[in-house]
């Protein structure tokens, strides 16, 4: 099931066909969670694409034939960024969502995005940046590149004495990373912090890394670097590890390498370094017998930007719904009006900050009569062009 551009339609706007969908608050709560998530994702992507492409209509075929919009509601989980952009209606067995074009001036960013997938470390959590935060972060990285050395910037010797509490935790984490042997249920003398994350192994070991490692690496790389310890309880700070029978060190090490290397990165600098990290497996012993392992991952601060995955932002292009590539998303988000400081005779007639995503900057000679004044002069009787 995928979104298709409907080329045979009675609407003047672009129409995206989202296929079949079950609607209604109660009906969607009772349906298969995976199918519910899949249908919701398809419609969200279609709406996002239209927001970035001048607006249009999302059309879906209602699968539950007894559905009534007025009685049952919709049941689709809409993100807050869609507020004020949508109108809905039922037309027989079709459900129509009318989508307005994205407003850059009201939102403060040029594009609608379901997620930036760009993380940063805030206190003890990995937080995904919203579009405004992501834009500010990217501008900051492009203007002031962080000086990250190839040396071991997270070693205890590098910790500043002035930052007592967090500095001590960071030093303790570095000391733990340097160890080779731990004791089962050993209680560590430090907790989660800005530079330390604890994670427990899930039943499926590889799934644990697939789900949590990308956001952890993105957050630490985009902040000040840090350590992730898989196999330490995040509340008690006790060493648990993963039982030796359930873990293949060589396979897991390769899986971690593959996961980190495929993370999308964007460079503003000329050095174009890769993500710098190190992986260690610390033995966990129980009464002198090898019980299992703690997996420790050290992530260095990155020079530019590391994403957990490609930003979730879409557009309609060449009669297809396409996801924007990371580089394309950044370029579009950061696009700015030209600098007219060297052209004193020119002024901005239309700024990118007050337009839709597809609009462009318009410059004009300062002595030219603006469009609004021309309208008043040539069409004095037209409504809406005169104030008062």
Catalytic residue among 41, 83, 139, 199: 199
Distance CA 295, CA 213 (A): 12
Tokens, residue 227: 């350590």
Could you say which of 1.10.3470, 3.30.70, 3.10.20, 3.30.950 is the CATH number of the domain covering 119-306? 3.30.950
| Distance of alpha carbon 284 from alpha carbon 379, whole angstroms | 83
Q: For residue 137, give the nearest of 122, 148, 149, 125 by alpha carbon.
A: 122
- Contact between 314 and 212 under an 8 Å Cβ cutoff? The reply is no
d(CA 35, CA 245): 35
Pairing of strands 4-5, 86-91: unpaired
pLDDT the model gives residue 370: 63
Q: How confident is the model at residue 375 (pLDDT cuts 50, 70, 90)?
A: low
Q: Residue 155 — pLDDT band, cuts 50, 70, 90?
A: very low
Beta pairing, strands 86-91 & 119-122: unpaired
Report the C-alpha gap between 80 and 112 in whole angstroms: 11
Q: How many angstroms from the chain centroid is the CA of residue 260?
A: 16
User: Which residues are within 8 A (CB) of 51 and not within 5 positions of it... i.e. 6 or more apart?
Assistant: 82, 85, 99, 100, 101, 102, 112, 357
- 302 token code pair: 């990155």
Asked if residue 280 lies in contact with residue 177, where contact means CB atoms within 8 angstroms, the answer is yes
Comparison of pLDDT for 387 and 91, the residue scoring more? 91
Cα 244 to Cα 292: distance, rounded to the nearest angstrom: 4
Q: How confident is the model at residue 357 (pLDDT cuts 50, 70, 90)?
A: confident
Q: Which sequence spans correspond to the domains of the chain?
A: 4-107, 119-306, 336-388
Condensed to tens digits (0 to 9), the pLDDT of residues 184-199 reads 999 999 999 999 999 9
- 3-class DSSP state of 140: helix
- Listed in sequence order, the DSSP H helices in 9-68 are 25-29, 33-51
Residues paired with residue 286 on neighbouring β-strands, in sequence order:
289
Q: Each residue of 80-110: pLDDT tens digit?
A: 999 999 999 999 999 999 999 999 989 999 9
In the chain, count of helices (H) and strands (E)?
10, 19
For residue 262, indicate whether it is catalytic: no
Residue pLDDT, tens place only, 27-69: 999 999 999 999 999 999 999 999 999 999 999 999 998 999 9
Q: What is the mean pLDDT of residues 249-267?
A: 96
- Residue 151's pLDDT band (boundaries 50, 70, 90)? very low
More reliable by pLDDT, 360 or 111: 111
Beta strand residue intervals within 253-336, DSSP E? 265-266, 277-286, 289-299, 305-306, 314-317, 320-323
Distance between CA atoms of 309 and 312, rounded to whole angstroms?
8
List strand residue ranges (DSSP E) for 48-117, in order.
Answer: 56-62, 86-91, 94-99
């Amino acid at each position: 099931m995928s979104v298709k551009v409907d080329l045979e339609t009675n609407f003047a706007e672009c129409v995206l066909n989202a296929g079949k969908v079950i609607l209604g608050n109660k009906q969607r709560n009772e349906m298969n969670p995976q199918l519910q998530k899949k249908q919701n994702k398809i419609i969200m992507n279609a709406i996002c694409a239209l927001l970035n492409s001048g607006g249009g209509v999302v059309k879906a075929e209602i699968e539950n034939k007894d559905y009534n919009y007025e009685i049952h509601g919709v049941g689709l989980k809409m993100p807050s960024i869609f507020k004020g952009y949508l109108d809905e209606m039922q037309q027989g067995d079709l459900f129509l969502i009318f989508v307005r074009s994205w407003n850059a001036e009201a939102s403060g960013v040029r594009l609608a995005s379901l997620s930036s997938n760009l993380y940063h470390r805030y206190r003890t959590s990995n937080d995904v940046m919203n579009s405004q935060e992501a834009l500010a972060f990217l501008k900051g990285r492009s203007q002031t590149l962080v000086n990250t050395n190839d040396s071991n910037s997270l070693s205890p010797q590098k910790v500043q004495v002035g930052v007592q509490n967090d500095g001590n935790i960071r030093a303790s984490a570095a000391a733990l990373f340097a160890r080779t042997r731990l004791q089962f249920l050993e209680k560590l003398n430090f907790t989660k912090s800005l530079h330390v994350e604890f994670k427990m192994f899930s039943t499926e070991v590889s799934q644990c890394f697939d789900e949590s490692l990308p956001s952890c690496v993105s957050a630490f790389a985009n902040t000040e670097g840090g350590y992730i310890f898989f196999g330490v309880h995040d509340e008690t700070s006790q060493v648990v590890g993963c039982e030796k029978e359930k873990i293949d060190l060589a396979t897991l090490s390769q899986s971690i390498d593959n996961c980190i290397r495929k993370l999308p990165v964007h460079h503003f600098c000329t050095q174009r370094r890769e993500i710098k990290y190190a992986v260690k497996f610390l033995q966990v012993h129980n009464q002198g017998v090898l019980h299992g392992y703690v997996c420790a991952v050290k992530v260095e601060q990155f020079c530019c930007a590391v994403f957990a995955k490609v930003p979730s932002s879409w557009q309609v292009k060449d009669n297809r719904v396409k996801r924007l590539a990371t580089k394309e998303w950044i370029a579009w988000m950061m696009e700015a009006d030209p600098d007219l400081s060297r052209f004193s005779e020119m002024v901005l007639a239309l700024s990118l900050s007050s337009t839709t995503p597809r609009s462009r900057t318009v410059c004009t000679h300062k002595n030219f009569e603006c469009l609004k004044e021309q309208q008043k002069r040539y069409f004095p009787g037209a409504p809406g062009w005169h104030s008062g």
